[in-house]
Amino acid sequence: MELEANERGRPEDIKAVPVRHPGRWIAATITLVAAASVGWSFLNNPRAQWGVFGDWFFSQRVLDGVLTTIELTAVSMAIGLALGIILAVMRQSANPVLRSISWFYIWLFRGTPLLVQLIFWFNIAALYPQIRFGVPFGGPALFSGSANTVITATVAAYLALSLNEGAYMAEIVRAGLLSVDEGQNEAAEALGLSRFQTMRHVVLPQAMRVIVPPTGNETINMLKTTSLVFVLGQVLDLLTTVQLIYAANYKVIPLLLVASAWYLILTSVLYVGQYYLERRFGRGTSRNLPPTPRQRLIAAWRKWRPVHEGVAA
């Protein structure tokens, strides 16, 4: 076939008729109709009692519960992350005692159910009625108190959640540290940086790229896992709060919907946070960072506008 050259001596751009995909349209229609019917029946089911949902959604008790859930998540994740970094660095230490202790910790906390740990910490008074800090092996004490007053339900919840999280974070941080090229260590050491400085300024910032995505998952997980504290009955997180409410008014489903909606809202906020964190720690790995949703919106608008304005004119 003879190619017809345009005025610049270059063949014309190809303008081909695209392949039609009728199967795609059919599948999309069926799925949409099915989803819409499920949604419609759910929203129109009188037993969902959306009025009750509305009454409780912004009630002070539920909002307090949401706040407690956020506090439990944030504090336990922060302590868990700090513990995880310490354990991961210990795991790579040249000191065999530190290595073994770190291994043992991870083995212990990953190997027992969190629910068991929660109940265990809550009942620690049965094992140690008195808690004291001071000189070990029976020396003088700096601090001591009855375990029942020191380890309240809230303290037990924080202990169980953050100590357990530490074990999981340790593995995530370790994977991150191992992902950094050995040449980075050598280059930093050759410049005269100490091992601590190398970790702090060279290895950890690069490990973060690998650490952040699973940590985001862990945080979302933690948000939902905090609901386990309902077994203690005294920590007024979101789930415990709605349970206490429906125990009194028997509106089980609408109140569970209230809790679910709040959990969904909170995890959605975390999604957004995770996206921007990953962007930040991706610096230097890709030549061009992917656009933020806002930049994407603006770009899409610019692309759309001239075409349609052109048509109007």
Partner 1 sequence: MSSLPPISGITEHGTVMVKAEGVHKRFGALEVLKGIDLQVAKGEVMCILGPSGSGKSTFLRCINHLEAINAGRLSVDGELVGYTQKGELLHTLREKDIASARSRIGMVFQRFNLFPHMTAEQNVMLAPMKVQGLGKAESRARAAKLLDRVGLGDRGHSYPAQLSGGQQQRVAIARALAMEPKLMLFDEPTSALDPELVGEVLNVMRDLAKEGMTMIVVTHEIGFAKAAADTVVFMDEGVVVESGDPRSVLDNPQHDRTKLFLREVS
Binding status of residue 194 toward partner 1 by CB under 8 A: yes
Return the range that interacts with partner 1 (CB under 8 A); candidates 19-27, 68-76, 183-191, 252-260: 183-191
In the block, tokens 């409780």 appear at 56
Rounded least distance, CB 205 to partner 1, Å: 5
Of residues 91 and 209, the one with the C-beta less far from partner 1: 209
Instruction: Give the one residue of 49, 152, 197, 274 binding partner 1; rule: CB under 8 A.
Output: 197
Of residues 109 and 281, the one with the C-beta less far from partner 1: 281
CB within 8 A of 142, min separation 6: which ones? 132, 133, 134
Of residues 207 and 258, the one with the C-beta less far from partner 1: 207
Of residues 74 and 191, the one with the C-beta less far from partner 1: 191
Collapsing DSSP to helix, strand or coil, 151 comes out as: coil
Q: Count the Cβ atoms, other than its own, within 10 Å of residue 102.
A: 21
Of residues 280 and 305, the one with the C-beta less far from partner 1: 280
Instruction: Give the one residue of 9, 96, 111, 183 binding partner 1; rule: CB under 8 A.
Output: 183
| Contact criterion met (CB below 8 Å) for 229 and 237 | yes
CB within 8 A of 299, min separation 6: which ones? 291
Rounded least distance, CB 98 to partner 1, Å: 16
Of residues 270 and 289, the one with the C-beta less far from partner 1: 289
> Site residues for partner 1, window 97-116 (CB under 8 A)?
none
The end-to-end CA distance of the chain, in Å, is 39
> Site residues for partner 1, window 251-310 (CB under 8 A)?
281, 283-287
Collapsing DSSP to helix, strand or coil, 42 comes out as: helix
* Dihedral sign computed on CA atoms, order 207, 210, 212, 216: negative
Return the range that interacts with partner 1 (CB under 8 A); candidates 12-20, 38-46, 156-164, 177-185: 177-185
Return the range that interacts with partner 1 (CB under 8 A); candidates 44-52, 113-121, 197-205, 248-256: 197-205
> Site residues for partner 1, window 206-235 (CB under 8 A)?
206
* 108 alpha-carbon distance from chain centroid: 23
Binding status of residue 191 toward partner 1 by CB under 8 A: yes
CB within 8 A of 204, min separation 6: which ones? 85, 177
86-99: b or e for each residue (b if 16 or more CB lie within 10 Å)?
bbbbbbeeeeeebe
Of residues 213 and 256, the one with the C-beta less far from partner 1: 213
> Which letter does DSSP use for residue 198 in this model?
I
Of residues 106 and 208, the one with the C-beta less far from partner 1: 208
Binding status of residue 94 toward partner 1 by CB under 8 A: no
Rounded least distance, CB 27 to partner 1, Å: 40
Return the range that interacts with partner 1 (CB under 8 A); candidates 78-86, 198-206, 223-231, 259-267: 198-206
Q: Where are the beta strands (DSSP E) in the chain?
A: 130-134, 141-146
Binding status of residue 187 toward partner 1 by CB under 8 A: yes
Binding status of residue 201 toward partner 1 by CB under 8 A: yes
For residues 175 and 161, give the distance between their C-alpha atoms in angstroms, rounded to a whole number. 22
How would DSSP label each residue in 237-287? -HHHHHHHHHHHH--HHHHHHHHHHHHHHHHHHHHHHHHHHHHHHTTTTSS
Rounded least distance, CB 185 to partner 1, Å: 9
* 47 alpha-carbon distance from chain centroid: 33
Binding footprint of partner 1 on the chain (CB under 8 A): 181, 183-184, 186-195, 197, 201-202, 205-206, 281, 283-287
